[in-house]
Structure 1
Amino acid sequence: MDHDNILETNGLNHWFGAGEVRKQALFDINLTLKRGSFTVLMGPSGSGKTTVLTLVGCLRAVQEGSVTLLDRQLNGATEAELVALRRRLGFIFQAHNLHESLTATQNVMMGLQVHRGVSDAKAQTAARHALDLVGLSDRVSYLPANLSGGQKQRVAVARALVGNPALVLADEPTAALDKDSAAEVVDLLKRMGAERGTTTLLVTHDNRILDRADCILTLEDGRIVRVDDRH
């Protein structure tokens, strides 16, 4: 594996169910993500986009094929190995999943809970820096109820970025946002790629953000049917 590649999958297949109801969900998925790249995975509902995300994100066991993440092979990896790799990833979802009783800073600090040995003081400093990165330095003490939809999603982005992950996996992060807020979230992830070498794989139906992608993969019925490389 090229060390400039954060992720490689080869011949990735996946099934759901067992026996007569067993159904293949992914067919021969081959993809490569280079350090700092911003890749979009598109396709209709049920095409397998989220399944790809959960497999490469160590949230689901690889059944068949090769997935190499950060120079580690996921097929056959132990649970302890998968947990260690998950600590090096950032996750963003359509629902911001913020805790309503916690401030923006406290919500972002939760992104460091998987990292052992981080003191509360260091976690708070890192959280405030991450909020500054996403343009929310004036909202660090706000509760989610007092933030707009775009601001809540930026807090979720800060939470994903606070541990300085090598790879960010984003599942429909702009779906509930207006055009300007969606652009802000995507531009932020692009900037992290340029400044930190953070790699992003983003699942979306949102055509408004496609012009910002380095590569667009189109998935249909569990197969990659188109690769649009913008480099």
Structure 2
Amino acid sequence: MAPGLGPAIRVAGLSHAFGEGEARRKVLQDIALDIPRGQLVILMGASGSGKTTLLTLLGCLRAVQEGSVVVLGRELAGAAEAEMVAARRRLGFIFQAHNLHESLTALQNVQMGLAVHGPLPGAEVAAAHLLGLLGLGDRLHHLPAQLSGGQKQRVAVARALVGNPDIVFADEPTAALDRESGRAVVEMLRRLGHERGTTTLMVTHDNRILELADRILTLEDGRILQDETRAGGAGAKAPRRGWDVS
């Protein structure tokens, strides 16, 4: 780990439940986890194992009930809403439901990803550059209704990355993509980790991309059943702002 940089995510004693009274059900139980900066971590497990709940807690989208969650040095347990909003500005999100604005073009949708991160040098050019890297250079001015499902998902990926987030949270980002497109997206995320220090936590059932992971976590019944670190995993890098669009 690079000097002076703590882990991107540190979790201790994290538990979470839904429901009240007799209907109350624990979906996460005593999770302890450190994720160094720059790692691409894949989170696997059967439906109902707690993967998406864990993702939303670490992504500052849900309040911590029990335990400690530190994201980029910020404790989320007991954090006020303003603190959660501030933390989210340093994060990027890719969901299976792309949630594009139907009245905006692909380029405009990606530029919307800049709103939470503030102005970045060359960011407007970076939006077009990212779409080009994802094979959408000829679709910049198309509306979502004119795009296929896989193309919409790639626009959503570009929107998540254009603000140069420190951590990317991805929930089934390759589900709507063919093998080649899905691999290209994950290879880009892995490269960002190795070259720029971007951390990615990805929920997936896509066995085609497992070899690209630095680490694979398997959840079962709300607990981490297996934690496999791959050889040559990413080391921490100092986060850099802006994009090289050469």
Same-fold call, TM cutoff 0.5: yes
Task: State whether residues 12 and 30 of structure 1, in contact with CA within 8 Å, keep that contact through their aligned partners in structure 2.
Answer: yes
- Output the amino acid matched with 1:196: R
Percent identity (aligned)? 66
Q: Aligned residue for 1:81?
A: 83
Aligned mates of 2:176, 2:142 — CA distance in 1: 21
Aligned mates of 2:184, 2:195 — CA distance in 1: 16
- The number of aligned residues is 229
The 5 Å alignment of 1:62-77 reads: 62-77=64-79
Q: Secondary structure at the match of 1:202?
A: strand
Aligned mates of 1:31, 1:148 — CA distance in 2: 37
Task: State whether residues 150 and 182 of structure 1, in contact with CA within 8 Å, keep that contact through their aligned partners in structure 2.
Answer: no
Q: Secondary structure at the match of 2:195?
A: helix
More helix by share: 1
- 1:194 aligns to 2:198 (yes or no): no
* Per-residue Cα deviation, 1:19-54 (whole angstroms, up to 9, x for no partner): 221111101111221111100000011110000011
Aligned mates of 1:180, 1:123 — CA distance in 2: 27
Q: Secondary structure at the match of 1:85?
A: helix
Q: Secondary structure at the match of 1:183?
A: helix
Aligned mates of 1:31, 1:172 — CA distance in 2: 21
- 1:207 aligns to 2:207 (yes or no): yes
- The range that moved more, 170-179 or 50-59, is 170-179
Q: Aligned residue for 2:237?
A: none
**Aligned-residue offset at 1:124:** 3.1
Runs of 4+ in 1 over 6 A off after TM superposition: none
Q: Aligned residue for 1:128?
A: 128
Structure 2: 5+ residue runs without aligned partners?
232-246
Aligned mates of 1:191, 1:143 — CA distance in 2: 29
**Aligned-residue offset at 1:126:** 3.9
Q: Aligned residue for 1:144?
A: 144
Q: Aligned residue for 1:28?
A: 30
**Aligned-residue offset at 1:78:** 1.0
- Output the amino acid matched with 1:22: R
**Aligned-residue offset at 1:125:** 3.2
The TM-score normalised by the length of structure 1 is 0.92
Aligned mates of 2:202, 2:145 — CA distance in 1: 26
Q: Aligned residue for 1:227?
A: 227
Q: Aligned residue for 1:54?
A: 56
Aligned mates of 1:97, 1:145 — CA distance in 2: 12
Instruction: Decide whether aligned partners of structure 1 residues 214 and 122 sit closer, same or farther in structure 2, where only a CA change above 3 A counts.
Output: closer
**Aligned-residue offset at 1:56:** 0.5
- Output the amino acid matched with 1:136: L
- Output the amino acid matched with 2:227: V
**Aligned-residue offset at 1:98:** 1.6
Task: State whether residues 133 and 158 of structure 1, in contact with CA within 8 Å, keep that contact through their aligned partners in structure 2.
Answer: no
Aligned mates of 2:227, 2:92 — CA distance in 1: 24
Aligned mates of 1:81, 1:125 — CA distance in 2: 30
**Aligned-residue offset at 1:158:** 0.8
Instruction: Decide whether aligned partners of structure 1 residues 115 and 229 sit closer, same or farther in structure 2, where only a CA change above 3 A counts.
Output: closer
Aligned mates of 2:202, 2:59 — CA distance in 1: 12
- The range that moved more, 167-176 or 189-198, is 189-198
- 1:171 aligns to 2:171 (yes or no): yes
